[in-house]
């Protein structure tokens, strides 16, 4: 057992238990205290620090609830396995940066909720655990400050305090290397893509994985880009296809492809980066859309972090990690595009209210975001484990994949019915499931022959709802409809 | 004197004084009590209603401060001239709708405030009077409601409660005829213009007044539109130029052109509407950018309100009337474009946070916005009167125009120096003024010969600052610089 010399500031506004919590957490994440090390007992630490034991207990409880430490009955507290936790050491270097990945997004703009009892949505998340009190408190503080600058136009690219907080978060969590001046904050990924096309001086030829995140695809199409769908293999986007179709820009989700869940291995990443470097004006848009919740496997840092050529444009969002109603996304530009940003888009007013930018910056800086993510990762992992266990019992399930991260997985069905038909029959029973084909770019040349595959989101569902939905699918998939039979032979 | 039978609800959460205030204000704005009618004394009304006199006094004070009633010393309270007030009767019909106009906007994305002592900015407004307590209270209420829908993606076009509140406001205040389903709420005018080009299916040939609001001009240019600058005469945009250059879309500010301050008379409006009706696919973008603060002249309703052909796309913003940091704009589409909106842009997530949409809706619905505008109109009118009086004493001022509304005016100078030179010399003295030429589209064919003209915003300035700025300009304009002399003869 090591000794803890915690410098306490009794004059600080920060409560003592929080100072203790912060100190220990920082020492764990920085690697100064390692996994398995025993912490001093609450009684001992309280005595050493000359404070009350309940203060130490509060700090330990917080660390426990977030998984930084573990309690062994009758034995005490030990440093937990933080490789499972969201944040890794600042000093561990990029290659070993903590990875996060996940997967969801649909093309469904609105969901008629009254039509459905259960929605296996890849877009919705669980918000019952959101630290609403902290959010409210920070909002009150921001508004109470009577800060006259709240009324002035903010910086076009976003408030510097928010950009700094996000950069620091991205560096720690995703291995993204950037200076705050490379970052543009905007009201959603689609808005940032609109800006990006303007930064690049107008329409370009853009390749995208097929299937892909259709909102991004459609945005680029709306902006006049020529869109080229590209096949995927087990490592992600096919390099041969890219070389053959010769786009200027490639839009990819290397850390966790939506909807397929593919994680692009380092070899393919290097090939892609090499392709971009070969000709000037080539760029890779890395949409790191849901990198917060990963349940197994080694962490994969961002593609941007491996990019020595300044060819990666990195895009991410808080809409997934906090809530879809938070419309804050960020784009990291390579240095070479900063002049073009200033010239073409520097005159645009910011699109995220200054008030919300300040609230979000404080939410990040006070560690609320990190604590929330750590808590939610455990909750989503439990949901996923329950969902997987339920699905594995089902005889109509051929294969399950894409379940290593995020809040949805893919299920190949043993059925004569088409995916569309299963979706339609489920709809009639008040259950919304998603056919993988819904995410395919339609004008794609080759149609691959696949088993009907459903995309099932579980982030917002209770175990009860999962059971009910699965039992419904069992009926649909197992019982041949007359329509199907006549359809097959008619 | 008429009698007031005010139905009071002592069980209501709304304070009694507010119930009295609301009742009288509604009766005034609805025309049930007319200008010049005497109100019962506070003592009499308190007696009739069996409440304390101070409650009635509070209500009267509120009505006084907003200009609904006037006090004549020793005689009592009378209904004021509400034709000067912002909101007119709901029942008065469009033609007599209260008008508002104003003018400011610059192409300056950021202002290096440390460089200047005094900024005659047409973008900045006075925010010392903003009802921050009400805004804070409403924000607290919205957050305290623990409404789970706050966490779900909102409607793409904006929350229905906000769209309804804005529609009702626009109908009363601007004579805009629209159903909430025609309204798209978005994070700023420029974002809405980006959407509009996508709704219209891509780049078009767009005519704009010259000079114009350059941010809109540049946005449309960025979106790939072919931009055609069109001359202005005293009635606004020249119809002959439009006919000659044959655009598909015309971007105009008929109620108060920026930066010229021109109000388009009805005849020209009808010509413009007629032009749009003549061929399918022609549209008019009406940017009603700052219609809140008008100081004289007859109200002019929106062009949209006169449009029978469904050709006007109406755009407005809260960034001017509340604060530049509020990034909420709205666009009213003609019914014929709604299908195109759904098809091309319906998939976009909203860009204004749901929380802020709810706060703003309540701010409108509770009458806070109206009260604020009425108060600010008086404050800006006083500022303008002071500024005008100061300028009229100056011998170097040739003409002043564009002062009927808004928070800036235009000053033609008697000087040998160019506008650019005056701006530069003022800058050296720590004063930021704006040359009208800064707002001109550069590649315009004909260059008109004008006197050097400054655009001077006064919305955020104190009388002291105005005096200091004017005295500085006096020096610059009156004293011939050697540089100028050598420049002219050299």
Chain B contact present for A141, CB below 8 A: no
Give the integer Cα–Cα distance in Å for A162 and A357: 6
Cβ-based contacts under 8 A for chains A and B: 145
Contact A144 B123 (CB under 8 A): no
Q: Which of A280, A314, A380, A374 is nearest to A178 (CA)?
A: A314
Contact B109 A190 (CB under 8 A): no
Q: What is the pTM of this model?
A: 0.77
pLDDT score of A173: 85
pLDDT score of A158: 96
pLDDT score of A143: 85
pLDDT score of B488: 40
The minimal CB distance from A109 to the residues B124, B223, B347 is found for B347
* pLDDT (average), residues B233-257: 95
Kindly report the number of other CB atoms within 10 A of residue B117's CB atom.
Answer: 13
Contact A222 B345 (CB under 8 A): yes
**Which of A106, A126, A145, A153 should one mutate to test binding to chain B, selecting the residue with the greatest count of B CBs within 10 A?**
A153
Percentage of residues in chain B having pLDDT higher than 70 = 88
| Strand duo B232-233 + B236-237: pairing | antiparallel
Interface of A with B in 215-274 (CB under 8 A): 215, 218-219, 222-224
Contact B347 A215 (CB under 8 A): yes
Contact A356 B353 (CB under 8 A): yes
Kindly report the number of other CB atoms within 10 A of residue A487's CB atom.
Answer: 13
Chain A contact present for B201, CB below 8 A: no
**Which of A347, A357, A358 should one mutate to test binding to chain B, selecting the residue with the greatest count of B CBs within 10 A?**
A347
Chain B contact present for A188, CB below 8 A: yes
Residue in this structure with the two tokens 């293999």, named with its chain if needed: A233
Give the integer Cα–Cα distance in Å for B412 and A161: 42
- Reported ipTM: 0.75
Distances, alpha carbon A465 to alpha carbons A116, A386, A387, A462, in Å: 12, 12, 10, 5
Q: Which of B268, B254, B260, B276 is nearest to B206 (CA)?
A: B276
**Which of A108, A220, A344, A349 should one mutate to test binding to chain B, selecting the residue with the greatest count of B CBs within 10 A?**
A349
Token code pair at residue A225: 């880009």
Chain A hits for B355, Cβ within 8 Å:
325, 356
Contact B139 A139 (CB under 8 A): yes
Chain A contact present for B107, CB below 8 A: yes
**pLDDT tens per residue across span A267-318:** 999 999 999 999 999 999 999 987 778 876 656 789 999 998 999 999 999 9
**pLDDT tens per residue across span B139-154:** 989 988 777 777 777 8
- Shortest distance, CA B222 to any CA of chain A (angstroms): 6
List all residues 6 or more positions away from B318 whose beta carbon is below 8 Å from its beta carbon. B326, B328, B329, B360
What is chain A's length?
490
What helix, strand, coil percent values describe chain A, rounded to 5?
40, 15, 45
Kindly report the CA angle at A303 between A297 and A307, in degrees rounded to 5?
140
Beta bridge partners of A207: A228, A250
Residue in this structure with the two tokens 């040939």, named with its chain if needed: B205
Plot region of B233 (φ>0 → left; ψ -120 to 50 → alpha; else → beta): beta
Contact B352 A110 (CB under 8 A): no
Chain A hits for B135, Cβ within 8 Å:
143
Residue of A nearest to B323 (CA): A151
**Which of A109, A127, A160, A323 should one mutate to test binding to chain B, selecting the residue with the greatest count of B CBs within 10 A?**
A109
Start-end of H helices in A286-345: 338-345
Plot region of A65 (φ>0 → left; ψ -120 to 50 → alpha; else → beta): alpha
Start-end of H helices in A115-265: 132-144, 160-174, 189-199, 214-222, 239-245
- Strands of the sheet with A408-413, listed across from one edge: A397-401, A408-413, A453-457, A434-435
Token code pair at residue B388: 């005008």
Give the integer Cα–Cα distance in Å for B411 and B473: 11
Contact A345 B222 (CB under 8 A): yes
Chain A contact present for B112, CB below 8 A: no
**Which of A124, A140, A151 should one mutate to test binding to chain B, selecting the residue with the greatest count of B CBs within 10 A?**
A151
- Shortest distance, CA A106 to any CA of chain B (angstroms): 10
Contact A218 B347 (CB under 8 A): yes
The minimal CB distance from A224 to the residues B135, B139, B202 is found for B202
Helix, strand, or coil (residue B38): strand
Contact B109 A223 (CB under 8 A): no
Residue in this structure with the two tokens 């330990």, named with its chain if needed: A60
- Shortest distance, CA B315 to any CA of chain A (angstroms): 16
Chain A hits for B150, Cβ within 8 Å:
323, 325
Chain B hits for A123, Cβ within 8 Å:
153
Chain B hits for A110, Cβ within 8 Å:
155-156
| Of A28-37, B278-287, B476-485, highest mean pLDDT | B278-287
Chain A hits for B127, Cβ within 8 Å:
148, 151
Q: Tens-of-pLDDT digits for all 490 residues of chain A? A: 566 778 888 877 778 888 888 888 878 877 777 778 888 888 888 888 888 888 888 888 777 766 678 888 778 888 876 654 433 222 222 222 222 222 222 334 456 677 899 999 888 888 888 888 899 899 989 988 777 777 777 899 999 999 999 999 999 888 899 999 999 999 999 999 999 999 999 889 999 999 999 999 999 999 999 999 999 999 999 999 999 999 999 999 998 899 998 889 889 999 999 999 999 999 999 999 877 788 766 567 899 999 989 999 999 999 888 887 888 999 999 999 999 999 999 999 999 999 899 999 999 999 999 889 888 888 999 999 999 999 999 999 999 998 888 889 999 999 999 999 999 999 999 999 999 988 988 755 555 557 999 999 999 899 999 999 999 999 999 876 545 444 344 3
Residue of B nearest to A141 (CA): B136
| b/e map B447-474, b = 16+ CB within 10 Å | eeeeebbbbbbbbbbeeebbebbbebbe
* pLDDT (average), residues B416-432: 94
Binning pLDDT at 50, 70 and 90, where does residue B343 land?
very high
Chain A contact present for B340, CB below 8 A: no
Chain A contact present for B143, CB below 8 A: yes
Say whether pLDDT at B447 is over 60. Answer: no
Q: Which of B471, B469, B458, B297 is nearest to B386 (CA)?
A: B458
- Shortest distance, CA B154 to any CA of chain A (angstroms): 6
Kindly report the number of other CB atoms within 10 A of residue A145's CB atom.
Answer: 11
Contact B325 A153 (CB under 8 A): yes
- Shortest distance, CA B325 to any CA of chain A (angstroms): 5
Residue in this structure with the two tokens 């260059």, named with its chain if needed: B447
**Which of B112, B124, B153, B460 should one mutate to test binding to chain A, selecting the residue with the greatest count of A CBs within 10 A?**
B153
Residue of A nearest to B199 (CA): A222
8 A C-beta contact, residue A272 and residue A306: no
Chain A contact present for B155, CB below 8 A: yes
Chain B hits for A320, Cβ within 8 Å:
none
**pLDDT tens per residue across span B365-422:** 999 998 898 888 889 999 999 999 999 999 999 999 988 888 899 999 999 999 999 9
pLDDT score of B84: 44
Chain A hits for B140, Cβ within 8 Å:
136, 140
Chain B contact present for A133, CB below 8 A: no
| Of A369-373, B81-85, B124-128, B290-294, highest mean pLDDT | A369-373
Contact A319 B194 (CB under 8 A): no
Say whether pLDDT at B166 is over 50. Answer: yes
The minimal CB distance from B325 to the residues A130, A150, A187 is found for A150
């Amino acid at each position: 057992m090591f000794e803890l010399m915690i410098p306490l500031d009794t004059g600080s506004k920060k409560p003592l238990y929080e100072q203790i919590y912060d100190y220990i957490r920082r020492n764990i994440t920085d690697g100064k205290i390692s996994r398995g090390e025993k912490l001093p007992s609450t009684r001992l630490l309280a005595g050493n620090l000359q404070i009350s034991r309940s203060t130490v207990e509060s700090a330990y409880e917080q660390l426990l609830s977030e998984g930084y430490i573990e309690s062994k009955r009758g034995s005490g507290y030990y440093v937990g396995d933080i490789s499972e936790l969201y944040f890794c050491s600042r000093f561990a270097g990029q290659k070993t940066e903590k990875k996060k990945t996940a997967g969801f997004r649909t093309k469904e703009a609105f969901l008629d909720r009254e039509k459905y009892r259960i929605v296996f949505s890849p877009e919705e998340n669980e918000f019952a655990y959101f630290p609403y009190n902290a959010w409210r408190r920070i909002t009150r503080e921001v508004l109470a400050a009577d800060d006259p600058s709240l009324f002035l136009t903010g910086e076009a690219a976003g408030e510097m305090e928010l950009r700094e907080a996000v950069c620091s978060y991205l560096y720690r969590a995703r291995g993204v290397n950037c200076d705050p001046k490379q970052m543009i904050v905007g009201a959603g990924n689609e808005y940032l893509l609109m800006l990006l096309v303007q930064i690049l001086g107008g329409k370009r030829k853009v390749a995208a994985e097929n299937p892909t995140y259709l909102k991004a695809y459609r945005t680029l199409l709306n902006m006049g880009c020529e869109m080229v769908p590209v096949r995927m293999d087990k490592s992600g986007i096919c390099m041969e296809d890219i070389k053959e179709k010769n786009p200027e820009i490639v839009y990819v989700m290397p850390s966790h492809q939506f909807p397929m869940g593919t994680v692009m291995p380092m070899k393919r990443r290097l090939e892609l980066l090499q392709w971009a470097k070969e000709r000037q004006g080539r760029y890779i848009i890395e949409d790191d859309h849901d990198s917060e919740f990963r349940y197994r496997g080694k962490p994969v840092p961002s593609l941007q972090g491996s990019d020595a050529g300044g060819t990666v444009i990195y895009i991410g969002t808080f809409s997934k990690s906090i809530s879809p109603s938070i419309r804050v996304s960020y784009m990291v530009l390579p240095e070479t595009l900063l002049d073009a940003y200033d010239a073409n888009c520097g005159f645009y007013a910011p699109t995220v209210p200054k008030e919300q930018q300040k609230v979000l910056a404080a939410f990040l800086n006070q560690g609320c975001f990190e604590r929330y993510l750590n808590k939610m990762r455990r909750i989503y992992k439990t949901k996923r484990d329950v969902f997987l266990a339920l699905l594995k019992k089902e005889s109509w399930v051929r294969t399950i994949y894409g379940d290593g991260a995020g809040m949805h997985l893919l299920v190949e069905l043993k059925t004569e019915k088409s995916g569309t038909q299963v979706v339609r029959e489920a709809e009639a029973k008040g259950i919304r499931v998603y056919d993988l084909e819904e995410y395919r770019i339609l004008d794609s040349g080759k149609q691959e022959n696949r088993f009907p595959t459903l995309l099932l989101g579980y982030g917002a569902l209770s175990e009860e709802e999962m059971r009910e939905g699965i039992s419904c699918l069992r009926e649909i998939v197992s019982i041949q409809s007359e329509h199907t039979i006549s359809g097959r032979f008619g």
